[in-house]
Structure 1
């Protein structure tokens, strides 16, 4: 018996940290194998109203901010895209790729990269730690227990409606303004509700993470992806909008049907859950003090605490989509929420502070994963291989058949999305190079924008350099279990997307 237990331990899937460090080492090895290279970059200086061109050696040249300058550099887009703020990051100048001296990332840079990654993502980390502290306070007051009990009574017999509502709201945020990192705040709130409703942790992840992923993948007016990409491609974001809306609706239906089929199996028999062996541990974590037979009353104090907490989310969404907020402002908002909850909680000063610190400490693993994931991108950036990958991929698709061109572009953008996970970064780097290739095969450039958006979003379902490992760490699910759940859906959504792209070339 002891031997069997030892064997089982040996066969356990590695933690999220180990997965990330393996990918980090592979990224470091790539910097030795993939030739280093750079495109010249062009950036608009709004203060001086000039263009600044930077060559591969870092030398800069000031050029007039005119349409003639763009035309002379083979950048086929209107000057207004720059002067009106549509493109704020440096863009790659077509036909300027040049190999440079190899910059392999050896042992020391690789070891240093997680430290640099933590420093680079400290704004996100502060946000997550403050959320952890708030969750600790709300749990201490019994507010979640009371709320779960009240909601469970109301949704009895129609629990999947909760999945649909959560998915739809998050997908709406994803498609309009790129709701992604902000969803981390939702797991501690919704996980207990999903578990109390008879579902497993994977269904909760699917409702939140896939709502965000499908929404951002099939972005319609997201300024951080499709709008920036359209600007960089020299077209209006309205081009291709109808097909993106149709694809979003159909992909959402496909995803919800897939989640429903899995949820139905779990409801029928909990042994059908992919994480059945882990559910006792997960329930202990999220329903530690919850007893449906003995729940604290949902009194005015708890209702007020919940309203204050939930009320912060519409304000956060407004701030990100309209007010120009980012993590510093969101952290400040939730810090203010924490202070209000401490005041309403009735806890003593010492008890409230210790509870906040304990809640924040529970998410230390999550914030460190965010930093290590960033380390992978730092190694690849310092290795100067991102532009090389773009150069090779653009060479592959020149002069292809139109339908094949669109499908292959999506696959190539999904690969590029692994190495350049920033949607705006990939758009400004790749579009000036990729978009003109559509002209050579007689296609509209909006097809390239769509391929970019769908390709990068599709890879986000599983890429370790994205949010998925931080999400899984937060809910105590291993990466291999997520892959078992998501890979069939990933295949379905990928096939559907390629079909829609091919149809777009015909319409």
Structure 2
């Protein structure tokens, strides 16, 4: 045991793909019937699960070919990460990022707890309102640099971002990609029950803040307690004893960044933009930065390529992570897993069933990392199952939210998480050790909320009449 070495994240992901392949040989294959919604999405039909007559066996060759297919399936996240890396390298060349870090240090350098709370709160609020996730990737290296200057580490930077992202999704008031879709499928009024989600927002944010702050405080007081000891920082060799003053040119570049974010939020909320369109927006911002920063065309190109090349490893991890779910889909066992997990809930009481729904949604998010995709697969089953065991449909939606959102912070099949970890240079195994206690705290709090929601009849006022 003394010579045991944790394998590289890529090896861990490939190992999970092999496990998924073996699972397709053992687990019975089957499907629910599906129907097409008005939006064109496929939604399963409850009560229609049936095993396939002729089982299909995937081969090791299918495993190998699933890797390039997974890269194609995750191309939007991969290319967005590479583009953001290149554009941020251009911004760093102008000195704007360093000047911003210096300005933030002047305001928060002696009170990092204030900065940590602000980041966790703001990112949670954005995820809760409009479902932002990959949009946080541009902030990774900025926060890593800021934490480094404050005698903290990259784990703290990632903790701030991911805690905000996961908690925002988990207790979202009206995330259009999760809450509204799940409520629509469960046939409860959209935006209904929002008062409870508003009430628990701050308490859950405080759980995330306390976890990150407790760790950062230990690192600040004793750097030897950092989980990142021996792990190279992506900003290694870029230490600066002093930071440039935030001049007019830097302020113009930061102003253009804010305008870029506003355009991105407008596109997401009104035009349905996702990472492809956002990538185009950031390319445009990179061009603006080069002009405002008075960089030559050759220097701009060189900086962009340097930034992209630094994130090739991250891009590979994102692609391979998508391959795990792809193997399970090809092996026709995803619906079997959903069906098998839901069966035990019909034999227990309503309060236990609600917590069981949370656990099931958490586990299934590993195999169906898309929030909306998970809603279309699970909610048509959980809503009527809740009717049978006495769990209001609004509570079933809440259990789905908690399970999907909180597990986003730790599952290796989440491409956004792997992108953030890769940019910050945080190995997945280190992150797992940091995040697991936070997950357990959030799951315990979520279980308590679900039990109380069942006891006090949360959602009974909008419960549809079942014929």
The interval holding the TM-score normalised by the smaller chain is over 0.9
Contact kept in structure 2, 1:35 and 1:385, CA below 8 Å: yes
Q: 2:50 matched to 1:98?
A: yes
2:76 pairs, out of 99, 106, 123, with 123
In structure 1, distance between residues paired with 2:237 and 2:129: 37
In structure 2, distance between residues paired with 1:125 and 1:468: 12
Deviations 1:324-354 (A, max 9, x none): 1112210110111111112222222222211
Change (3 A) 1:122 1:248: same
Change (3 A) 1:307 1:239: closer
Q: CA deviation at 1:307?
A: 2.4
Q: Residue in 2 aligned with 1:320?
A: 268
Report 1:107-186 matches (<5 A).
107-186=60-139
Larger Rg: 1
Q: CA deviation at 1:399?
A: 4.2
Q: 2:367 matched to 1:367?
A: no
Change (3 A) 1:163 1:311: farther
Q: 2:134 matched to 1:189?
A: no
Q: Residue in 2 aligned with 1:57?
A: none
Q: 2:199 matched to 1:246?
A: yes
Q: Residue in 2 aligned with 1:501?
A: 450
Secondary structure of the structure 1 residue equivalent to 2:36: strand
Secondary structure of the structure 2 residue equivalent to 1:173: helix
Q: CA deviation at 1:34?
A: 0.9
After TM superposition, the structure 1 stretch with the greater mean CA deviation from structure 2, 224-233 or 390-399, is 390-399
In structure 2, distance between residues paired with 1:289 and 1:403: 53
Q: 2:45 matched to 1:89?
A: no
Q: 2:330 matched to 1:377?
A: no
Q: Residue in 2 aligned with 1:224?
A: 177
1:257 pairs, out of 210, 232, 244, with 210
Q: Residue in 2 aligned with 1:460?
A: 408
In structure 2, distance between residues paired with 1:443 and 1:126: 42
In structure 1, distance between residues paired with 2:340 and 2:291: 58
Q: Residue in 2 aligned with 1:69?
A: none
Q: CA deviation at 1:248?
A: 2.4
Contact kept in structure 2, 1:40 and 1:92, CA below 8 Å: yes
In structure 1, distance between residues paired with 2:244 and 2:112: 22
After TM superposition, the structure 1 stretch with the greater mean CA deviation from structure 2, 463-472 or 19-28, is 463-472
Structure 2: gaps (5+ residues): 457-467
In structure 2, distance between residues paired with 1:151 and 1:401: 52
Q: CA deviation at 1:380?
A: 0.8
2:397 pairs, out of 443, 449, 466, with 449
Contact kept in structure 1, 2:119 and 2:160, CA below 8 Å: yes
In structure 2, distance between residues paired with 1:483 and 1:260: 17
Q: Residue in 1 aligned with 2:9?
A: 16
In structure 2, distance between residues paired with 1:504 and 1:337: 46
Deviations 1:405-448 (A, max 9, x none): 11111111111111111111111122122211111123311111
In structure 1, distance between residues paired with 2:97 and 2:197: 38
Q: How many corresponding residue pairs? A: 454
In structure 1, distance between residues paired with 2:455 and 2:205: 24
Structure 1: gaps (5+ residues): 1-6, 45-81
Contact kept in structure 2, 1:102 and 1:383, CA below 8 Å: no
Q: CA deviation at 1:115?
A: 0.2
1:347 pairs, out of 292, 295, 301, with 295
Q: 2:28 matched to 1:35?
A: yes
Q: 2:428 matched to 1:476?
A: no
Q: CA deviation at 1:296?
A: 3.4
Q: Residue in 1 aligned with 2:464?
A: none
In structure 1, distance between residues paired with 2:400 and 2:425: 32
Q: Residue in 1 aligned with 2:459?
A: none
Q: CA RMSD in A?
A: 1.8
